[in-house]
Amino acid sequence: STDLTSTVGYDSIIQHLNDGRKNCKEFEDFLKERAIIEEKYGKELINLSKKKPCGQMELNTLKRSLDVFKQQIDNVGQGHIQLAQTLREEAKKMEDFREKQKLHRKKIELIMEAIHKNRNLQYKKTMEVTQMCCCFLPCGAIGDAIQPLLHFLVSPVFWQLFLKLAQTKSALEDTDRSYQQSVTTMEKIREEWQNEHIKACEFFETQECERINYFRNALWLHVNQLSLGCVQNDEKYEEIRKSLEMCSIEKDVDFFVNLRKTGSLAPAPVVYENYYNAQRNVTPAKSPVPVPISRRGPLPTPTSAPGEPDYATVDGYSLV
Q: pLDDT tens for residues 198-229?
A: 999 999 999 999 999 999 999 899 889 889 98
Closest CA to 87 of 50, 41, 47: 41
Q: Which domain holds residue 209?
A: 13-259
pLDDT-based confidence at 25, cuts 50/70/90?
very high
Decide if 269 contacts 285 (C-beta within 8 A). Answer: no
CA angle 188/192/195 to nearest 5° reads 140
Within-domain flag for 290: no
Q: Which pTM was predicted?
A: 0.68
Within-domain flag for 286: no
Residue 243 C-alpha from the chain's centroid: 37
Q: Which residue has the higher pLDDT, 128 or 295?
A: 128
Within-domain flag for 27: yes
Decide if 36 contacts 84 (C-beta within 8 A). Answer: yes
Number of domains the chain is built from: 1
Within-domain flag for 2: no
Within-domain flag for 204: yes
Please state, in angstroms and as integers, the Cα–Cα distance from residue 191 to each residue in 20, 147, 174, 196, 203, following that order: 30, 42, 26, 9, 18
pLDDT in tens, 114-124: 988 988 888 88
Within-domain flag for 299: no
What's 40's domain CATH number? 1.20.1270.60
Within-domain flag for 272: no
Within-domain flag for 273: no
